[in-house]
Structure 1
């Protein structure tokens, strides 16, 4: 995924820090003032306010989706501000990119995007406090130091709490961000230390934090009835019977964003309770126009893909040398077909949004959104209102995995709110709504061929990739990188693509593209290594070659072969990898590597196969995300969770099945999730720190575990499985 929502550090900090107190979060902040004897906290910048007791409230600007960002970003500010973590209080900001810069949860971009800006925000506020103290005492700023929320003047022995300086500091001009001194890593007191998630106690206690928990006064509910075939259009609906149900308030035709403006593809029933609205759907008899979409099916896709794989690729993604001639002259060739299915996100919190079309003309929303700015833009376009006519409160998100990068639930909730102005209304999907109206990870098919020389080196590599697209371009999340390894290091190579059409909406699933490509490429390379008489780690080492940066597509991170080699060697060392098969029947060990979202990860998986069932015994992970692990406790949780998520994709999640244009899955009985007792007994984590800026962690651990499991199945059973999920006969 590209770095959507990236802005320059200086552009957003210049806005968010300038004027200090004029910029607020949670609409609660104010200049120091005494009201009925209560001293209000002082706003130092858009991100920081200081209370009279010297506690510091820090605004967390990005959506919290379980990745720990609500804790991690304030850690960066707090460390540079030089306060104790025990002094810190954290509040979620509203969505307002003019104040806070990009507010986005996707692509593991939060760390690389905010590593310097958040530190600069804290350092700038600290510098303002130092300047205020220097003016108060009539000394040079350079003679002052800080510690745990206190300014110190060691020559005179004086000290003063930040709280006593806050009002003066807030009135000062913002220092030049390029010149604000930042701490050296050896001076960090918060960064690099384990910190519990700020919301964890509340989650355990059931505190209402999530979008589904929103309860503004006077709220009513909306249930959704959407066309069962994606992109079908509502022709008519008779709402008389529904409006006669006690408690039902309105029936509102709406557009999910999947059909042209001016058309509708869904109906919302508004009632005083969600259950009333939900049950009243049975009384509707909508007429849909679906003839153009009814021919799409899982079966037809597979047949079309097989035909396309047998011909020439429609589009060249990358080409070097003469791959066909090189393959013809190779000492040995290896060929295989790999495939993977459509997948749903299956978030535990179904899609929801609460919206209020207020009497003052403002639209107020409570949204568990990964990309609230896009939601704002799409609502403005759909309803013809100004973007700044909206107030968006970001709630905690109960699972997203990329699903909530799409804004359909926000757009539909806004339309419903407009249909019942003056009262907040919560639009809530049920589980079937959620599974059948997802933005699915697209299916894909690959036909791969590799040519080896007499020494077992890869001299030619070819992949014909089939997925979904139109006009020679892939649909969202259905693409393949032109620099997919090992293409850039093979002298004769060809990556080509062909595209099918579909009526399904496609979207990013955690570690998008990578979750599929790692399975395909690393699974196939394991076959190549077997043909060469070596193991996969050794094939990777030889193919990676000398440490160097490989060419990258514009806007994409550069792939460093030395960093790749570093994690491969590390995981093989800690897992005591020998490359030799287990002597215990049913036991197998597999390896996988992948570079994605700026992170380098290599993994070893031990499995047991018994009566056709695969259980994962242990996973070893080595990861390189740069020079600094900001919150080691959360980082470990992210790595463990991502590996388990990859296990689910490999072993548990069932393909989304489409018949006559419609998705057939209804609930977790036919789209099961991984159960707690399926998790491995241990996940061992090793960090490989390198002299590179820190990068994100929510996604890059996931991809390698999928091929590692597949390769372990091969080692345990002698069977090579080339489609997901892995199923042994």
Structure 2
């Protein structure tokens, strides 16, 4: 992921190829070199977005990126259809397989699908429209510049003649291919599809219960598999007695799988193959396995907490960033505030547990049906594991019942392929149980922060320190357990220092919706709320005082190419908008209180206000959330955008109220929804959303609305009770 982030770039240069469909029609292939570079780490590859137009006028658009419920399967084709001037009622959308030479970088993560595809997909549609115009102009003997298009129809205003796209498609395949860098794009005032609320293309199928998810895959002669792995992270298999499991009626085979020590790939385990999954899963109870747990069986959440406190008492291991003279700021402070914050491990638990169907053929070729957010790494990993060339591995990307970052890691693909390799010629569907899914995750890392703030005699925040305690694996801090040097308010407090210490662990860690930001927003915005209270002010007032008069940061190069740096102006815009929406200056009704939170993540700016109370049992209750967001100038699909924001807010509230993964004996203690209670309908508050439009290209919405809601809730509870929530999930005993 890190290497991809360093190389993923967009380019305005593109190459368009056209061809005729069998039976007539236009087939359009768009090659985008910049995206291809992202897929190959710098080498030459192609990203092909395909448009085909049949004689009957049906336009088929291929949506290349994995669909995990974020709406990308609908949104990407909307961009093409807009510039094509297509009749949306005649558009058919199909998902693609993994095919790097056609589509380049295919993934779902980081809220990057919108910024990476905003321009290229529009160019693809505009180029197709230009070819259709030229074909019609040639047939009518007129200049293409004088023709007009609307809803898949070409009109010659001078003569009144019309022609449908289907009628001219075959001729258009012979038109000169335009330069995508020069093809004219629509004026935004003429948009009729971009900005239109369109329901998800698969939503009717989901409501009808049609089999469209990975777990619904059915193949002739298919068998089912369960996979037993070590409950203790880092453990290796010593020996296994398989006879009792083999004797279970309906079980067809049981065998040991030898793996390595990288949980993202293949680990040691025992595979059980049967005619149905229930039999395979139940037979696991008969296995007798001796695991070598090593030192990892002594690890626990309580032990990590004790280690963190010990590390706080020692000098930090490393400095993340240091600005100004922090020591002088504290030496001259009129008041020093200190606070310790903690957040736990979190699991993803998408509604569809991990699964993969694999077929290893006698010739060594491999075919897989995988609900994966990152097909590249799954494809490459399986090819390497089985020792076959990449071109002999085919990956069909299926619709996913949620992902939230879990399916960026493809351990389940490795397991399915390893089992199928032992049963050549037989399709094998590996399905994880809910318990497997919760206990074999790549978790949002837990973390500990010890803050100090210096306030001078005038009440100004002059210094800030954070000693962050996190984890390392084999001496290296995992990507999503890190904290960068630009975490706000870095750059906006004159004297600031972030330091870090780490403790060794084998708990697998990965990206969870709004990775890093989902935790850092809670601790930083909560502590800044403490600072504001000591100043006799409130959090939005403090934030505005830090941001006003500051210039925008320069363009930054990162995942997906260049993007605008942090903009204080845009931050101020959403902060003020949220205050206005929630009538911030007016106190909440009796028995309720409001709290504020702001964060910038994934190129999106969100400020949120939570109104909360306590139930008779002292359980926090969220009544209302006001959210103001700036994700650029255009909301491509308002329907999908609202879904993502509301989902993010509910997700964040659920995390704050009751979610935590606890480690005991080196293993996860939670097993299912009864002890990992995801938010349900009664928890859902009223949510109001407004967008602050700015003159910037649109960015993604799958993640940036989540981080601010957690501190907004904890800050509301402080305003209500005077008690600070310094550890998640919120413990109602704090308010007894």
Q: TM-score range by the shorter chain?
A: over 0.9
Partner of 1:64: 67
1:727 aligns with 2:734: no
In the TM superposition, residue 547 of structure 1 has moved relative to its aligned partner by 4.4
Partner of 1:167: 170
SS in 2 for 1:66: coil
Question: Which is further off, 127-136 or 177-186?
Answer: 127-136
SS in 2 for 1:464: strand
Q: Take 1:490 and 1:62, find their aligned partners in 2: how far apart are those partners?
A: 40
Q: Take 2:459 and 2:421, find their aligned partners in 1: how far apart are those partners?
A: 66
Matches within 5 A, 1:574-653: 574-578=581-585, 582=588, 584=590, 586-610=591-615, 611-653=617-659
Give per-residue Cα distances to partners, 1:75-133, cap 9 Å, x unaligned: 00100111111111111111112212321111100100010111111111112212222
Q: Take 2:551 and 2:136, find their aligned partners in 1: how far apart are those partners?
A: 49
The root-mean-square deviation of aligned C-alpha atoms, in Å, is 2.1
Contact 2:5 2:558 in 1 (8 A): no
Q: Take 2:105 and 2:648, find their aligned partners in 1: how far apart are those partners?
A: 24
The partner residue of 1:693 within 688, 697, 713 is: 697
Matches within 5 A, 1:211-250: 211-250=214-253
The partner residue of 1:658 within 663, 683, 691 is: 663
SS in 1 for 2:114: helix
In the TM superposition, residue 661 of structure 1 has moved relative to its aligned partner by 1.2
Partner of 1:498: 501
SS in 2 for 1:619: strand
Question: Which is further off, 93-102 or 250-259?
Answer: 250-259
Contact 2:649 2:705 in 1 (8 A): yes
1:353 aligns with 2:356: yes
Identify if the C-alpha distance between structure 1 residues 477 and 257 changes in structure 2 by more than 3 Å, giving closer, same or farther.
Answer: farther
Identify if the C-alpha distance between structure 1 residues 145 and 582 changes in structure 2 by more than 3 Å, giving closer, same or farther.
Answer: closer
Contact 1:624 1:689 in 2 (8 A): yes
In the TM superposition, residue 244 of structure 1 has moved relative to its aligned partner by 3.5
Contact 2:260 2:266 in 1 (8 A): no
Question: Which is further off, 291-300 or 164-173?
Answer: 164-173
What is the total number of aligned residue pairs between the two structures?
708
Partner of 1:25: none
The partner residue of 2:27 within 43, 61, 66 is: 43
Give per-residue Cα distances to partners, 1:112-160, cap 9 Å, x unaligned: 0010111111111112212222332333222222111122222232221
Partner of 2:100: 97
Q: Take 2:263 and 2:702, find their aligned partners in 1: how far apart are those partners?
A: 34
Q: Take 2:328 and 2:148, find their aligned partners in 1: how far apart are those partners?
A: 69
In the TM superposition, residue 555 of structure 1 has moved relative to its aligned partner by 2.7
Identify if the C-alpha distance between structure 1 residues 169 and 252 changes in structure 2 by more than 3 Å, giving closer, same or farther.
Answer: farther
1:273 aligns with 2:265: no
- The gaps in structure 2 that reach 5 residues or longer are 30-48
Matches within 5 A, 1:199-348: 199-254=202-257, 258-259=261-262, 264-348=267-351
Identify if the C-alpha distance between structure 1 residues 435 and 262 changes in structure 2 by more than 3 Å, giving closer, same or farther.
Answer: closer
Give per-residue Cα distances to partners, 1:282-315, cap 9 Å, x unaligned: 2222222211322221111011100111222111
Identify if the C-alpha distance between structure 1 residues 235 and 13 changes in structure 2 by more than 3 Å, giving closer, same or farther.
Answer: farther
The partner residue of 2:711 within 694, 707, 713 is: 707
Identify if the C-alpha distance between structure 1 residues 671 and 257 changes in structure 2 by more than 3 Å, giving closer, same or farther.
Answer: farther
Identify if the C-alpha distance between structure 1 residues 539 and 145 changes in structure 2 by more than 3 Å, giving closer, same or farther.
Answer: same
Partner of 2:674: 669
Matches within 5 A, 1:355-394: 355-394=358-397
Q: Take 1:625 and 1:50, find their aligned partners in 2: how far apart are those partners?
A: 33
SS in 2 for 1:75: helix
The partner residue of 2:455 within 438, 452, 458 is: 452
Contact 1:255 1:412 in 2 (8 A): no
Q: Take 1:338 and 1:413, find their aligned partners in 2: how far apart are those partners?
A: 40
Q: Take 2:397 and 2:232, find their aligned partners in 1: how far apart are those partners?
A: 31
The partner residue of 2:56 within 53, 60, 71 is: 53
Give per-residue Cα distances to partners, 1:682-723, cap 9 Å, x unaligned: 101111000011000000000000000000000111111111
Q: Take 2:475 and 2:283, find their aligned partners in 1: how far apart are those partners?
A: 44
Partner of 2:22: 33
SS in 2 for 1:118: helix
Identify if the C-alpha distance between structure 1 residues 224 and 179 changes in structure 2 by more than 3 Å, giving closer, same or farther.
Answer: same
The partner residue of 1:561 within 555, 558, 568 is: 568
Partner of 1:153: 156
Partner of 2:46: none
Partner of 1:467: 470
In the TM superposition, residue 360 of structure 1 has moved relative to its aligned partner by 4.5
SS in 2 for 1:234: strand
SS in 2 for 1:209: coil
Identify if the C-alpha distance between structure 1 residues 150 and 582 changes in structure 2 by more than 3 Å, giving closer, same or farther.
Answer: closer
SS in 2 for 1:112: helix
Contact 1:54 1:161 in 2 (8 A): yes
Q: Take 1:388 and 1:678, find their aligned partners in 2: how far apart are those partners?
A: 48
Q: Take 1:155 and 1:286, find their aligned partners in 2: how far apart are those partners?
A: 82
Q: Take 2:229 and 2:729, find their aligned partners in 1: how far apart are those partners?
A: 29
- The gaps in structure 1 that reach 5 residues or longer are 22-30
SS in 2 for 1:507: coil
SS in 2 for 1:488: coil
Identify if the C-alpha distance between structure 1 residues 498 and 548 changes in structure 2 by more than 3 Å, giving closer, same or farther.
Answer: same
Q: Take 1:256 and 1:609, find their aligned partners in 2: how far apart are those partners?
A: 50
Contact 2:110 2:602 in 1 (8 A): yes
Identify if the C-alpha distance between structure 1 residues 242 and 387 changes in structure 2 by more than 3 Å, giving closer, same or farther.
Answer: same
Identify if the C-alpha distance between structure 1 residues 6 and 157 changes in structure 2 by more than 3 Å, giving closer, same or farther.
Answer: farther
Q: Take 1:419 and 1:629, find their aligned partners in 2: how far apart are those partners?
A: 49
In the TM superposition, residue 384 of structure 1 has moved relative to its aligned partner by 1.5
Contact 1:259 1:265 in 2 (8 A): no
In the TM superposition, residue 11 of structure 1 has moved relative to its aligned partner by 8.7
Partner of 2:36: none
SS in 2 for 1:721: coil
Question: Which is further off, 240-249 or 180-189?
Answer: 240-249
SS in 2 for 1:615: strand
Q: Take 2:476 and 2:361, find their aligned partners in 1: how far apart are those partners?
A: 42
Q: Take 2:339 and 2:130, find their aligned partners in 1: how far apart are those partners?
A: 61
Give per-residue Cα distances to partners, 1:34-73, cap 9 Å, x unaligned: 4xxxx7x642334211122201111111111111111100
In the TM superposition, residue 236 of structure 1 has moved relative to its aligned partner by 2.4
In the TM superposition, residue 726 of structure 1 has moved relative to its aligned partner by 1.1
Q: Take 1:262 and 1:336, find their aligned partners in 2: how far apart are those partners?
A: 39
